[in-house]
Amino acid sequence: MSKLVHLLGFVTLNVFLLPFLCKSFSPETPTDRRVLVLLDDLAIQSSHSLFFKSLQSRGFDLDFKLAYDPKISLQRYGQYLYDALILFSPTIEGFGGSIDQAAILDFVDSGHDLIIGADANASDLIREIATECGVDFDEDSNALVIDHTSYAVSDTEGDHTLIASDDFINSNVILGSKKIEAPVLFQGIGHTINPTSSLVLKVLSASPSAYSANPKSKLSSPPSLTGSAISLVSIVQARNNARVLISGSLSIFSNRFFRSGVQKAGSAIKHEKSGNEQFLTELSKWVFHERGHLKAVNVRHHKVGEADEPAVYRINDDLEYSIDIYEWSGTSWEPYVADDVQLQFYMMSPYVLKTLSTDQKGHYFTSFKVPDVYGVFQFKVEYNRLGYTSLSLSKQIPVRPFRHNEYERFIPAAYPYYGAAFSMMAGFFVFTAIYLYNK
């Protein structure tokens, strides 16, 4: 009897808890929910509270832990406990618990997001993680980004390591539709991105006069990182659409920078509030998939006039193809409207390339004639727009040639030959009649 009561209690508890468990990350709701924040100093929790509050106000559960806490872990029994990771621990040499570089990279490779904040004394571990993501920090561990023409005018910082930058990436998806008026205050190390990689983008670049060097010592040789090649804040979108934000400064997220005003050297405008808060809030929305996350569903193709999908097409058939694309708005799936989604009918090279027309409600469709070549084709949709998740769909379908009874039955040009053949047969009958009855 007591066992039954226990069982009942267990079941009701589970049923009660089920909705909470379901609020976690899933493909149906791609926005992350549970975020682990690793700090190397608990003071950061309060010194960067504005940034964290903006996240919490959007519904994220932040879990603050010290980076060297021996009890932290990303997963238990094969299940990930968190959906995203924020590393605000630039000096950490080794994480506690079961987290290490390989675990973090596996975390990203399994589709989860990451924000890395490095700073002036970033450890080798943080630099290595950043390199694995495609971003190379300056090898000189003492170097900071110095800019003598675009520094932020201030009373205290005199070595021009506090710079004001407004060289943003031109993308509404990443930075939001509202233009960021004020420059962003930055103080920290610079990095470069791999120019051959299509996965890494510079969100905030340094001005052409910036360089990366140790501010306390004299320059003995020309600096290796100069100009706009230096990236201050970069994003990486991996092939499985995990998003990583790498920033060379931790103080860019701090309350101090959020609240302070900014005046760029050489410019007369003095802004009351720096652009940091707007910049980083919008960027965090992008990183946590609240913007720019697409899904494609309902891939359908059929012959014109029919409703169900055939297993094989014939050459010179007319067919229709349709697909629905939605974008996640943070709370729900909205139809995605664009005019540049293209479909390829592909067999080692695209035989047909068509831009899909849309009904403005997320439904894309087109129709075309199957080419005169038989083989095994694929319907390929490859959609890689800046800032959006990449759509890569392919569906294989064979195309067969004509059957022997699908050709024209009687060809007009051949009537004389038909006539000749039949006349031969008639002549044969007549001949046998005459021959047999000839006396």
User: Judged by CB under 8 A, which of 49, 91, 172, 267 binds other proteins?
Assistant: 91
333 bridge partner residues: 328
**Could you say which DSSP state residue 356 is in?**
P
Q: Residue 396 interacts with other proteins (CB under 8 A)?
A: yes
- Closer to other proteins by Cβ: residue 10 or 418: 418
- The answer to the question of residue 134 lying near other proteins (CB under 8 A) is yes
167-175, 178-186, 278-286, 368-376 -> range binding other proteins (CB under 8 A): 368-376
Question: To the nearest whole angstrom, how small is the minimum distance from the Cβ of residue 406 to other proteins?
Answer: 9
- Based on the shown chain and the rule CB under 8 A, indicate whether residue 140 belongs to the binding site for other proteins: no
Question: Cα-flanking dihedrals φ and ψ of residue 281, to 5°?
Answer: -65, -50
Cα 360 to Cα 192, 322, 326, 427, distances in angstroms: 39, 13, 11, 70
Ranges within 227-256 binding other proteins (CB under 8 A): 236, 238-240, 242, 250-251, 254, 256
Which helix (H) or strand (E) covers residue 299, if one does?
Answer: strand 294-303
Contact status: 427 vs other proteins (CB under 8 A): yes
Among 59, 94, 158, 227, binds other proteins (CB under 8 A): 94
Q: Is 260 in the site for other proteins (CB under 8 A)?
A: no
Distances (CA, A) of 19 to 13, 15, 295: 11, 8, 24
Binding segment for other proteins (CB under 8 A), chosen from 11-19, 102-110, 210-218, 282-290, is 102-110
Site residues for other proteins, 177-196, by CB under 8 A, read 192-194, 196
Residue 344: phi and psi, rounded to 5, are -115, 140
Tell me how far apart the alpha carbons of residues 280 and 260 are, in angstroms, rounded to a whole number. Answer: 15
95 vs 168 by CB, closer to other proteins: 95
AA letter at 432: T
d(CA 32, CA 26) in angstroms, rounded, equals 8
The answer to whether 248 and 235 have CB atoms below 8 angstroms apart is: no
Residue 189 beta carbon to other proteins: minimum distance, rounded to whole angstroms: 12
Q: How far is the CB of 347 from other proteins (least distance, A)?
A: 5
Instruction: Tell which residue, 378, 404, 412, 411, has the closest CA to residue 393.
Output: 378
348 makes contact with other proteins (CB under 8 A): yes
Stretch that binds other proteins, among 131-139, 147-155, 263-271, 286-294 (CB under 8 A): 131-139
Q: Are strands 113-117 and 84-88 parallel, antiparallel or unpaired?
A: parallel
With contacts defined by CB under 8 A, how many residues of the chain interact with other proteins?
87
Residues 21-80 that bind other proteins (CB under 8 A): 40-41, 43-44, 47-48, 68, 70
Q: Should residue 384 be labelled a site residue for other proteins when binding is judged by CB under 8 A?
A: no
CA distance linking residue 234 with residue 250, whole number of Å: 14
Report the residue from 11, 23, 26, 139 that binds other proteins according to the rule CB under 8 A: 139
- The three-state secondary structure class of 50 is helix
Contact (CB, 8 A) for 382 and 392:
yes
Q: Per-residue DSSP letters for 109-129?
A: HTT-EEEEE--TT--HHHHHH
Sites for other proteins among residues 398-417 (CB under 8 A): 398, 400-401, 403-404, 409-411, 413-414, 416-417
Residue closer to other proteins, measured from CB, 24 or 224: 224
Residues in the chain: 439
Residue 17 or 42 having the CB closest to other proteins? 42
Q: Does residue number 123 form part of the binding site for other proteins (CB under 8 A)?
A: yes
By beta-carbon proximity to other proteins, the closer residue of 22 and 421 is: 421
Collect all residues with Cβ–Cβ distance below 8 Å to 10 and sequence separation of at least 6.
none
* 418 belongs to the binding site for other proteins (CB under 8 A): yes
Beta strands 270-271; 243-247: pairing state:
unpaired
* Piece in contact with other proteins (CB under 8 A), picked from 27-35, 275-283, 292-300, 395-403: 395-403
Contact window for other proteins (CB under 8 A) among 125-133, 167-175, 222-230, 292-300: 125-133
* Phi, psi (degrees; rounded to nearest 5) at 320: -125, 145
Contact between residue 152 and residue 163 where contact means Cβ atoms under 8 Å apart: yes
Is the distance from CB of 73 to CB of 99 less than 8 angstroms?
yes
Residues 290-329, one symbol each (x = binds other proteins by CB under 8 A, - = not), give ----------------------x-----------------
